[in-house]
Amino acid sequence: MLHLRNHLLPLLHAASSSSSPLHLTRHRLLSTAARSPPFSVEHYLVATCGLTAAQARRASPKLSRLNSASNPDAVLALLSSSAAGLDSLSLSRADLAAVVATEPRLLRARPGTIARRIASLRGAVGLSAPQVGRLLLSGGAAHLAASSDVSPKLAFWVPFLGSFEMLLKILRRCNAILATDVDRVVRPNVALLGECGLGVCDIVQMTQTAAWLLTFNPERLKIVVRRAEELGVPTSSWAFKDAVCTVARNNEGTIAARMEFLRGTLGCSMDKLRSAISRKPSILGFSEKTLRGKIEFLLTKVQLEPEYILQRPVMLTLSLDKRLAPRHYVLQALVEKGLIKNDSCVCFGNKHFVARYIDRHEDALPGLADAYAAVHAGKSPAQSLTQHLQTDRYRSDGEATYVLGNQPVRMEDK
């Protein structure tokens, strides 16, 4: 009897345990876990957000802490066109993919924070839902979930720059303007430039190409302004903006080396060089290799005198391959055909040059328009123009000249 009891009790205990609610619940959970695959960030980015596989691979390390779709789903609901709420931005799937690819960390932000920031942009700044969407697509997505509200910064930048469109244009080049403290950095820098004689319009114009200047520490910008003044560029001059931007991009050693290079290459005094720099400070922003190529071309091919170049330093800012050389070869051909004698063209805009020298003489030089357009677009080297300009020479007066700038250049017969 005792032996029978000892044999049956373990069986009864096992049967009761297997039928207990706790055991059944644990069994169901294990079974469910076994059936459900783990959350895959890459798969979510591709399937739900519309990213490519390559984009998803690049973005997934920034979302390594995500272990479910609940948070990103809530964020996407505020951005997607599938959401019907007033706070939704109604981004298309393509736009949504572009925003997430640019700033994937947006998916791990708190949905409540995103909702409040969108409401602030629309209420305090007065942006429409499409405008907020364009802001995100232009680089503003990183600031939507930042620790501080970006709306006060936009409230400064939009009226300062003159329009929301200008803000987007600048933001694509310099996203840092929305990360910079307006009261402690931007306003003091604007005031400093104003003290130098620059008006608001001048500063805005400078901002269009060098907005990063206004993100400098104010003490650093003071040093930049002092260095610009040391170049001999008057603060009242329109060239002062160029001087500030140029020295801000290059340290003192680089500027000194470029000046010494130009003085030696052009064979001029430092005073004459400073005079040229005061008219076009941006020439100091080009590398020695680039400057050497332009100077050698102007001195040897075009046969200009160094003094002439110093009087018109803007020539050193023009592209050798797309402007100086192509125009040289075109004018050379027109002179050799006897179609022009003296003229100036280097500072013409491209449309003006084409109308005056290309279109007008297309019959005399077939194929010139297409060849010049290819060179100007960078699709062909400037030397390729010579292949289209091999024509019989015609000298009307025995000696013909043309001008690249305003300097007469003799075309010697070969």
Are 351 and 301 contacting, i.e. CB atoms less than 8 angstroms apart?
A: no
Q: pTM for the complete prediction?
A: 0.73
Any domain includes 179: no
Any domain includes 401: no
Any domain includes 405: no
Any domain includes 341: yes
Any domain includes 20: no
Number of domains in the chain: 2
Kindly report which listed range (5-9, 370-374, 408-412) carries the lowest average pLDDT score: 408-412
Amino acid at 386: T
- Estimate the share of the chain in helix, then strand, then coil, as percent rounded to the nearest 5: 70, 0, 30
Q: Which of 106, 127, 149 is the last residue of a domain?
A: 149
Any domain includes 128: yes
| Percent of the chain residues past pLDDT 70, beyond the cut | 80
Greater pLDDT, 161 or 340 = 161
Per-residue pLDDT reduced to its tens digit, 268-324: 999 999 999 999 999 999 999 999 999 999 999 888 899 999 999 999 999 998 888
Any domain includes 235: no
Task: Select from 81, 78, 80, 91 the least CA-distant residue to 117.
Answer: 78
Give the range of the structural domain holding residue 358, as residue numbers without chain letter.
318-390
Per-residue pLDDT reduced to its tens digit, 153-182: 999 999 999 999 999 999 999 989 999 999
Any domain includes 90: yes
44-82 burial code (b ≥16 CB/10 A, e <16): bbbebbbbeeebbeebbeebeebeebebbebbbbbbbee
